[in-house]
Structures are given as structure tokens and as C-alpha cells.
Structure 1
Amino acid sequence: MTSIPSPSDGSLAGLRALVTGGASGIGLATAHALLARGAHVACLDLEPAGAPEPLIGIRCDVSDDDGVPAAVADAAERLGGVDILINNAGIGAQGTVEDGELDQWRTVFDVNLLGMVRVTRAALPWLRRSTAAAVVNTCSIAATAGLPRRALYSASKGAVLSLTLAMAADHAPEGIRVNCVNPGTVDTPWVQRLLAAAADPAAEHEALRRRQPIGRLVSAEEVAAAIVYLASPAAGATTGTALAVDGGMQGLRLPPPAR
């Protein structure tokens, strides 16, 4: 059993964390934040070379039924167990319900939803042995706010939100906490690629900036800080929660700027 650090000091010293999609964007920022608080961290990613030492990079495709258990077992062996699971790997999609082939819908759900199912199933035997077990799923503001041209992505993240609540109910008796974060538009490589592909990248960036009441994109480090809080013993009484890190997008309605 792993001893639980003092809930008041924010320490993760000695805890073992597994982060999917941990070699870039929010996942990499989270891995670094966990490491800075004393955790030992393994990053499961399609391109694990993006996770520098002392992070442990392990190649994993979360849509691979056979590969996921093997990758999680490898991580658990190298870490000496798993106390914290960050289900962060995911892919995006644009368009209305009429857009895209149904195979694209299956692919996005296979990664964004079933990927979390596969990894969590594989990690549960180790989480059950921990006295500080926590799972944090990366969801999205798209799960709770209707966004234009995000039908498929929103549907997959809505499923993640519901899955989080159901998992929290199922595993609370085992002492495993399950929460999620709902980021707004985050300045990540994926968003930068979307902007680069837009007809007018500057105008698209301005639209994304203006729809968040704080007037800017969210940083990966800000999302990582929320994830690490939910994963830490400092949040020991928090489970079944969706924490928005969205610049006020979900709850605030500011007046339009004066002309």
C-alpha cells in the first residue's frame, strides 16, 4: 500500500501516475506538473519520444484492444504500481451531424470514449491496491455547451462526462475517486493545427479568443493544474465532479463590448 501524503501540502511524493496522451499538449503539461510534485510518471502515447526523461515514455494506441493491457502492465511494472490514472488521450473532429463518414464517428468514439474504458479496465487491478487511487478524465466544455460544427466531438465528450459520473459511483466503495476536467479552447498543438488550416487563421483565432470571457485561450498548464489537484490527496473528498477550466465560457454571460 502507498502511504497518503498530507492532504494540506499538495505533495504527490512517491505516488505512481500514468498519463495517456502524455507526450504533448495537456498530457505533457500534466506529466510535468505531476513530476514537479514528486510523482513518478509514465506517459502512454503514440509518439512517446515527446516525453523526456525522467518521464517514462511507452508507446500505446488506446484504440488497440491487445496493446492497451500490455502497455499499462509495462507502465505499472516500471513504476512499481499505479496510484493515479489520467485518461487524457483523444482526437478532435469538426462538422455538423451531417458531415463525415460514419466510420469517422466510430473512430472518434473508439479513441475518446472506448480508449478510456480500455485503459481504466487495465489499470483497475493496480488502482485497487493503492490507498490514494484517483482517476481524472480529460473531458471538454463541448460536453456541456453547444458549440457550432463540433457535433461528433461534443457527442464523444458528453459520453466521457457520463462515464466519469458512472465510474465515480461504481468505484467509490473501493476508495477510487473519479473526476474530470472540462477545458475550454486550449492553446495546444492540435488547436494550432486547426488555426493553420482555417481560411483566415487570424480571424479564427480572434473568434476563439472572444468566446471565452477571460479574453484569451486557456493554457495547457492551467488545465494541468486542475488535473493534478483532482488527482491529489488534497482532493480526497472530491469525486464525481466535472471541473471547468474554460475561461468562464460555460457559466458567464458578459455584455457585448461598448461601441
Structure 2
Amino acid sequence: MTSTTPTPDRRTIVLTGASRGIGHATVKRFSAAGWRVITCSRHPFSDRCPWPMGPEDHIQVDLSDPENLGNAVAEMRQRLEADGGRLDALVNNAGISPKDEGGKRLDSIATPMHQWRTVFQVNFFAPILLARGLFHELKRAGGSVVNVTSIAGARVHPFAGSAYSTSKAALAALTREMAADFGPHGIRVNAIAPGEIDTSILSPGTEKMIDDIPLRRLGQPAEVADTIFYLCTQASSYVTGAEIHVNGGQHV
């Protein structure tokens, strides 16, 4: 791994689920603004990804494996020493939503218990374990945590499975708890709840939902990334404990 030159004034973000969709757009948004971006994904770094220091600041981690996650946190802390042990933003974007063999949603009756556990480990437990593991770095920077929830956390969704939806509802509740607990230490914690976003992993039939969206279109990953950026910068300095809907009004 190539060493980084210590630059204490540089702002740094740790981002999970960075390899595609919203995560990839978020990488580009922060990198364009001059941030150091430490990406985390179960996939290895791809040479097609365009941001500076990408290969050096990518960590391959399986968030479903608590031991692997613990090792990744230790590596993150070591890498953050180049920035004076500071972390300005942690964005918990990674999430999984398993389907049945035919690609259909798994409801609360059909979802195997081992899949419930895996979904909650990735979607719910990993965010709090990362925030706790990087607490001192976040506190040192007066940093921000953004948890990516979902519109499915507040309603039964035609494509998102029951384990995914309930894990995102739990993550929204966790966001409030974290805001109360982390706030006295100068750390803000918020969530964003995307709706139907135009990515390569859209479920077939999503286009039929456009009539239920007041803006009559799908969202773009860059629009979600812009909202994440807002929550990680001084523009939102008095915003904590919030869950911002990024769904074209679909939640109404």
C-alpha cells in the first residue's frame, strides 16, 4: 500500500458500499470537492474507478463477518493517522436485500432465519459497530455520520424484502439514538431515505411506480450524493437526528 503524506487539514470520509450506484456517485461527489475518500466494499478496487488515491484508500471488507469488520476498523484507524487521527464523515451506505430463487421479494414468512441475521448484520449492526469503532476519530474532527435508510423502512415495498425493510426501519431508529448519544461529543448523526433511484440494480417493474411519485421521475444517484454531502458539511451544522427523504415526494 502506498503511504499517504500527513495533511491534518484535509477532510476525510469513510464510505461503505462504494462500488456502485449511490456509493459510487458519493465517491465522485466528495472526491471532486477535495476530500480524501476511504472506500469500503466486499469487492476489490476496480481500476475503472476515477478518484485519486483510489487503490491506496480502498478496503475490501465483508460487513456480514463481525471478525472481518473488526479487522477493517483497525485498518481504517491506522490509515486515518495520516490525517491526524481525524475522521470528518462516516457514511453507512452498504445494504443487502436478498431475493428468492426466482428474483422475487422474500416476505416475513418465507425469509430463512439465517438471511434475517445476515441482513441485519450488514444493514444494522455494521453501521453502529463502525461508528463506535471510529468514535474517537469522529470526535476529534467534530464529524458527521450519515446512515442510508430507505423508503421501504416506512412502508411495505413491492420489491424490498421484509428483512431489508425492517433493518432499515431499525436503522432509522438507531439514527435517533445515535444523535442523542453522539451529539454531546460534537458528532452529528443523520439519515437519508432514498426512494426509487435510477441505478443498475433497479428491480424489473420499478418504472411502473413513477405515477406514484409526485415529481414523476426516478431519482439520480448524484442527487442522493448531494444530500449526503450537505449532511457532512458546515451547511448542516445544526442538523442532527434527522431522516431526509430523497424520493421525489413518494413518501407523501
Distance 1:187 1:246 in 2: 11
Aligned to 2:93: 88
Aligned to 2:125: 114
CA change 1:211–1:152 in 2 (3 A) is: farther
Aligned to 2:146: 136
Distance 1:45 1:158 in 2: 23
Question: What letter is aligned with 1:139?
Answer: T
Aligned to 2:101: none
Structural RMSD (CA): 1.9
Distance 1:162 1:63 in 2: 21
The structure 1 residue matched to 2:19, chosen from 5, 16, 23, is 23
CA change 1:46–1:52 in 2 (3 A) is: farther
Give aligned-pair identity as a percent: 37
Question: What letter is aligned with 1:117?
Answer: I
Question: What letter is aligned with 1:57?
Answer: H
Question: What letter is aligned with 1:38?
Answer: G
Distance 1:44 1:38 in 2: 19
Three-state SS of the structure 2 residue aligned to 1:146 is: coil
The structure 1 residue matched to 2:112, chosen from 84, 92, 101, is 101
| Structure-2-length-normalised TM-score | 0.85
- 2:138–2:187 Cα contact (<8 Å) kept: yes
Unmatched runs of 5 consecutive residues or more in structure 1? 4-12, 196-203, 252-259
Aligned to 1:77: 78
Aligned to 1:210: 211
Deviation at 1:121? 1.8
CA change 1:19–1:119 in 2 (3 A) is: same
- 2:19–2:43 Cα contact (<8 Å) kept: yes
Q: How many residues align?
A: 230
Question: What letter is aligned with 2:136?
Answer: P
Distance 2:218 2:34 in 1: 29
Deviation at 1:189? 2.5
1:220 aligns with 2:221: yes
Deviation at 1:52? 4.0
Aligned to 1:127: 138
- 2:28–2:51 Cα contact (<8 Å) kept: no
CA deviations over 1:176-195 (Å, ceiling 9, x no partner) = 0000000001122322xx32
Unmatched runs of 5 consecutive residues or more in structure 2? 1-6, 99-104
Aligned to 2:195: 184
CA deviations over 1:128-153 (Å, ceiling 9, x no partner) = 2113x100000001112332453222
Question: What letter is aligned with 1:15?
Answer: R
Deviation at 1:228? 0.8
